[in-house]
Structures are given as structure tokens and as C-alpha cells.
Structure 1
Amino acid sequence: METLLLLALAAALVEVSVPGPPPRLTIVSHSFDIGRCQLNVRWNASAESVNHACKEYHSVVWTDGIATDALLSSSTDRTMEVELGKNLGFGVREECGDMRGKWVNVTLQQNGTAGTGAVNIECTWFMEKDVECSWQPGKKAPAGTHYTLSYWHEKMKTREQRCSNYTWSKGSEGTRFGCRFELPSSSGLPKLHLLLQGNTGDIQPVCVFRGDTASYIPEIFDPPSISNLSNVRDGILVEWTRPVNRNNLCYQVEDNKKNPYYTFMDLTKEVIPVEANEQHTFRVRVSQRCDTCPRCWSDWSKEKVWKPKDKPPDKTFKILLCTMIPFIVIVLTIILLIYLKSIRRLILPTIPDPGKFLKLMFEDQNEDLQKQPPEDPLKDEQTHPLTVMEPIGNEN
């Protein structure tokens, strides 16, 4: 009986014996798809690994010495997006539970000369409509080097698109080149794939990823608009409208008589503690962040002027007015008493009695009728006879 138990135990121990560590990988090959910013890697395991009961591979991409894009899979090939222009490497090892093999690492050789690719790449999203990306030439890039920008995101129908609206500017940090392209989106910025290539084969291509969960792209919005100004107890109430349907935005209100600005988080109205009896000019701007991105502020809104409606009079004038009013009243009263009769005549002139006027008129007419008419002057005229005398000496 004891012998049978020992045989059964021995058989069980043989069945659960732990396998040894997985053997090491032997071959690693790689290639780049520059247009898509992708790395294609294939590795070949040894014959012992092929026949092994546990076959899983842990792979990582080394970007400037930092392990990224770790993946555990049973496949012996992998395709992944990489940031060309940086120091890249790839590593893979076999794993089986707690048993891990040794890393097999390879340094990824890239096209072009290191240090000639574009650097200091920055992108900005304007008003949810356009994206502008800018860069500077690499330190080892020859003079006269030109770069072309290609971009792609998941919402595009074609795989990649070349930017055509190029610009350049010169500032304190040197010359910056840029390009602007359309990207309308009301649901947030998708992940952007950006490829910068030089005008010769010696210039190293550079791939970067922006937006989504990749590197942050600041958004610059349309400026808000001031909708109303009103007088309240503690100052002037400034009200403005949101430029987009977003929350957690930062606003700054500028008063032409105060410095610095008044900063508010996720508000559309606020009381500015200023004198309401003075004239003020207000402007508002908006940003995604209050302090961490100075270049993310929108343009200022149109100015809106506050003019006091009822400005209190000067105290000296008030005292003088209160003194002069009683004096003026007294003087006017005396003048009225002295010239009351004259003033009354001016105000109420004498109206003649119509009866008396008619009586006088008829009396004059009666007197004219009662007068004797003058005698006829021909009545008393005397008549004398007329004697006609003939001349003498003319008788026949």
C-alpha cells in the first residue's frame, strides 16, 4: 500500500515540473515607413522557443533612452508609430509567467544626418478652424535648408496631406518657419501626425504627434464680447459671452485705469471694484489656461466704455447754490412789491368799455346832422343890364 502511494506521488511531481527559462531570441530586423511615421519590426525565435509551451514577447521602443509603447503579445512582428528625428531603439524579450528572458536591443538607424532635422516644433489651434505649426532649422542644417510639412489625422479621407500656406518670422529666438492648414472640428482636436522633411536627402526627417493624448496643442479662441455694464454697490458689473461652448475657461478683464488685469475662472460676469462715478474702458479675453500658457490668450474684445449717468456736483457749487437761492428769492420779492402796479398793467392791460365807445361815436354823428346847411351863394347875386354900343361912322 505504501509503495503504491509513493508511486502516485512521484508521478504527480513529474507532471507539474516547472519548465526552465525560455531561450533567447536570435534575429531582429526593422524598417521605417517615413510617410506614415511608422516602425516595422520582425524577430525570429530559436527552435527551442518555437517548441516551447509558453510563447509571449514583451517589446518596447526606446525614445531618447526612455522606454515607451510597451506591449506583451504572442506575435513575432510589430508595427508602431515613432517620433523620427530622436534617438530610437527597439527591445524585445520572451516571457512566460514569472520567467523572463534577456532583452535583445537594436539601435535604429535613420535616414539623413543627425542634427539636421527641424527642432522646436510648436503648434497652435485657432478658433477651432485652423492649425499653425512652426519650427526652427536643426543646428547642423546647412544654410538655405527648406522643410516641407505633411500632416494626417484620423478624420481625413486621404492618408496624408501637404501643407501649402508657409510663413516665416524673426524674433529674439531666431528665425521661425511655419505653415497653416485647415482643421475644422467642434468636438476637440484629433491626434495629429506631422512629418517635416528637408529639401535634400541629407536632412533627417522628423515626425511628431500633437493633440489628443499626445503633446498638448494650445487652442486660441475668438475673443469674447462684453454684453452689459451696470452699476452695483461694490463697483461695476461686467458681463460677457462665451466664445465657444466650453467650460473651465479662464477670462481676463482689463480696465484702462487699473493694472494688472482681473482674472476669473469659468465665469461670464464679475463685479470690478472701481469707482462708478468715473469713466472706465473695459476689454475681455479668454484662454484655456490662466498662467501656464502666455501665448494661448485670445485677442482682446472690442472696448466698451462706462460713462457715469448721474455724476454728483461739486460740493463748493452745492454750497454756493444753496446760499444764492434765498437771496434771489428776496430780491425778486422786493422788486415785485415796488413795481406791482406796473407789472399788473403789463400783465393785465386796461380794456376800453365798448358801450362808451359806441355812445361817443353816435353823439358825433348826431351833431353833424343837426348843423344847418350853408346858403346858396347864387341866391343873393345882383343882376345888371348889359348895353351894346355900335361904332359911329359906318352908316350907309
Structure 2
Amino acid sequence: MDIQWICVVTIILTWFCTGSSIHQTSVDPPHNLQIIDPGLLGYLYIEWHPPSSLPVLDQCTIRYKLKYRSTGDADWKVVFTKKLKYGDGFDLSKTTEAKVQTLLEGRCTNASEIQSDWAHATFQVPSPGELESQIRDFHCVYYNWEQLTCTWQVGQRVPPGACYEFYYWYEGLECAVQCEDYIQTHGRNAGCHLRNLRQAEYLDFNVCVNGSSEATRLRPSYFTFRLQNLVKPSPPEKLSVSIAADKEVHVAWSPPGGGVPPNCLDYEVQLAEDDGYADATWVFASTQMETAFTFSQSNRSHVSCVRVRGKTNMFCADKGFWSEWTQECFYVSRKDEKQLFLLITVVLSSLSVFIILILAARCKKKSKKGGSGQCDE
């Protein structure tokens, strides 16, 4: 009996040791890699299936390494995932490239990572119409964080009667939406106004401008951007300027009204120095979120104009547009002009008093001669 148990234990140990010494040394790549266009103006899905043969998954972890880019991009975007699907935005005017490989690690590989070969796929949207029929000079501005305005010029070769249409999509919309407020030039759509886009902020905003005519189709144009990077705020408000006894110029203002968060604005202040009414020389100064600034005037006695503008800062956006300058231009008179003004004021005041005294004397003299209580000039 003891001999039988010894045999059984020996067989089990031999099987275990033999089995544990056999490790996975290779793994198949994913198969059926596809790039799918769901009609969301550049947002594509990259999908694949697991490898045809896999080890026992309770002994190994399987992941996938995905790389993708648009043709012409220098670098690949890289994603590690356990899922079989990934989505991102692409420029549909270019070819999209994607490749994925299997990564295997765990007991079945003796804790080392095994990589498969790459599976490859490409995707290109058909481009109907001539290249010269595409729109030109596409430009968008998100005014005061409230209204997106996009404009464009018609293509170089566009047949009469051609019409352009503007579509947009961002994550959260079920499908692409057409513009409802077009800007028209010479009877053609040349721009679009969009409002109520708060839900689209800090998301990829995908745009397609396409068109057609009775003669031919026009080539579509695709764009992807983020609204916070297109903000142009309104000018600062309530600008005030004061001059201290030491000739320092103190400038203060308030953030503009509207949708731009005050903590998202940096400012630039300009002070113009004008020597003898010659061309003004502007002195620049930048501030970070502060709404006041002081220029040292210890060695200056020039006529100065002060103005301020704002721009979204690095804490809220990667880039943006400067606002217009404040409309007010505060001038500080030169010292000699102030003295001349005071002298003229004193002389005019003295002359007025002198004239009043003369008139009073004449009135009194006539009153004595005529006995009348009235004084005629």
C-alpha cells in the first residue's frame, strides 16, 4: 500500500515538474484588424479580434499594443489596452494607418513578456470632386467663450450654383449635426455661427465642410480642434489710470463680462511715450491674471496713453487669440503743459475779475447821475 502511494505521488510530481517547465515562447498576432468610419466626421474606430490560439488565460495576462497615425505624421500614437476596440479623431483627408500586436505575460511565459508580430491596416475616405473645389482659408474663433464663428472662402474652381454645407460632431452627440445659422456671401454659404457649446469644451470638435452642385460634387474638407484653444475674449472693462506724486502710472481694470472664467485670462498693458508729439513708442508689460499694474515714471515726463487687452492663459488652454484693446485711451499731460494750463487759467480768471469791476464802477457812476436804479450798458 505504501508502495502504491509512493508511485502515485511520484507520477504527480513528475507531471507537475514536466508541465511547469514548458513555457509559452510565442503568441499569434490579433486578426481581422479593421479601421471603421461610423460617419462622425473623422472619429474612427480601430477594432480587432483576439489571436487564433491562446494559452490558458488563468496562467497568463493578455494585452494589446496599438499604434496609429495619419500619413505624414512623424510620430505614432501608442496605446496599451486589454480591450478589442479603440476610437480617436483623424484627418479624413489623409490615409489612416494602424497596427496592433499581442502582449503575453504571466506564469505561462515564466513572467517574461512575449510579443507577437504586428497586424496592419489602413483606411482612406474616397475624395470625390476636384482638389480645387475644396474650401480655402478656413478659420474659427470662439468669441468670449460663448459663440463659435467659422468662415471660409470658396474653392478656386467652383461651378455656378454650388452650395457648401457645414457639419459638426463631438462626443455626446448621436450623429453629425448641420449648421442652422449660416453666414452668406454673394448668395453662398461662407460661414457658420454656433452657440450653446459648453458640452463640447475640452473635447475634440470635428467639422466637415462639403458641398455639391448640379454639375459635379465638391471635395469635402475635414478639421478637428478644441474650442478652448480658439477663444477670443472681449476687451477688459472699467479701465482706470492714476498718477502718483512720484510720477508712477497706476493702471487698473476689470475682467470682461461673458463666458470667459476670470481665472483663465492673462493681460498685456501698453503705455505710449510721446516725445514732442513724435511717433509714439509703446512700452509693453504682461501680467498673469492680475488686474492692476504700475509703470515707474521716475524719469519720464511724456504724454502717455494706456490700454489693456486679454488672452486665455496656459491654465485653461494651449493657445488662443488676443482680445481687442480697450477703447479708452487715458492721456497724462506733460509737466510744462500743466504749468501753461495753470498760467492761462490764472490770467483768464484775473481778466474776468477786472472786467467785472469795471462794469460795476460804470454802473454805479450812471446810477448817481441819472438817479435811476437801472444800469444800461
TM-score range, shorter chain: 0.5 to 0.7
Identity %: 11
Distance 2:18 2:136 in 1: 62
Tell me, yes or no, if structure 1 residue 83 matches structure 2 residue 91: yes
Task: Give the match's secondary structure for 2:339.
Answer: coil
1:296 to 322, 326, 333: 322
Task: Give the match's secondary structure for 1:229.
Answer: strand
Distance 2:123 2:266 in 1: 43
- Residue equivalent to 1:60: 67
Residues 273, 282 of structure 2: 8 Å contact kept: no
Distance 1:233 1:295 in 2: 36
Please report the TM-score for the alignment, with normalisation by the length of structure 2: 0.63
Letter in 1 for 2:281: N
* Offset of residue 233 of structure 1: 0.5
* Offset of residue 237 of structure 1: 2.4
Q: How does 1:215-230 map to 2 (within 5 A)?
A: 216-230=229-243
- Residue equivalent to 1:32: 37
- Residue equivalent to 1:311: 338
Q: Which has the higher contact order (CA 8 A, sep 6+)?
A: 2
CA RMSD of aligned residues (A): 4.4
- Higher share in strand: 2
Flag the 1:250–1:282 CA change in 2: closer, same or farther, 3 A: closer
Letter in 2 for 1:84: L
Distance 1:234 1:13 in 2: 92
1:126 to 116, 139, 143: 143
Flag the 1:221–1:159 CA change in 2: closer, same or farther, 3 A: same
Letter in 2 for 1:93: Q
Question: How many residues are aligned here?
Answer: 303
- Residue equivalent to 1:107: 122
Structure with the greater alpha carbon radius of gyration: 1
Q: How does 1:174-185 map to 2 (within 5 A)?
A: 177-183=190-196
Q: How does 1:1-396 map to 2 (within 5 A)?
A: 8=13, 11-35=16-40, 37-45=42-50, 47-49=52-54, 55-66=62-73, 70-97=78-105, 98-113=113-128, 115=131, 117-118=134-135, 121-135=138-152, 142=158, 146-153=163-170, 160-166=177-183, 177-183=190-196, 189-200=201-212, 201=217, 203-211=219-227, 216-243=229-256, 245-246=262-263, 249-255=266-272, 257=274, 258-266=280-288, 267=290, 268-271=292-295, 273=297, 279-288=303-312, 296-307=322-333, 311-312=338-339
Gaps of 5+ in 1: 170-175, 318-396
Task: Give the match's secondary structure for 1:48.
Answer: coil
Give a deviation string over 1:213-254, Cα, whole Å, max 9, x none: xxx324333333322322330443232223262266021224
Give a deviation string over 1:66-124, Cα, whole Å, max 9, x none: 45553333443444433322231222222213211111212202032495655664432
Letter in 2 for 1:311: K
Distance 1:12 1:90 in 2: 42
* Offset of residue 8 of structure 1: 4.4
Flag the 1:148–1:226 CA change in 2: closer, same or farther, 3 A: same
Please report the TM-score for the alignment, with normalisation by the length of structure 1: 0.60
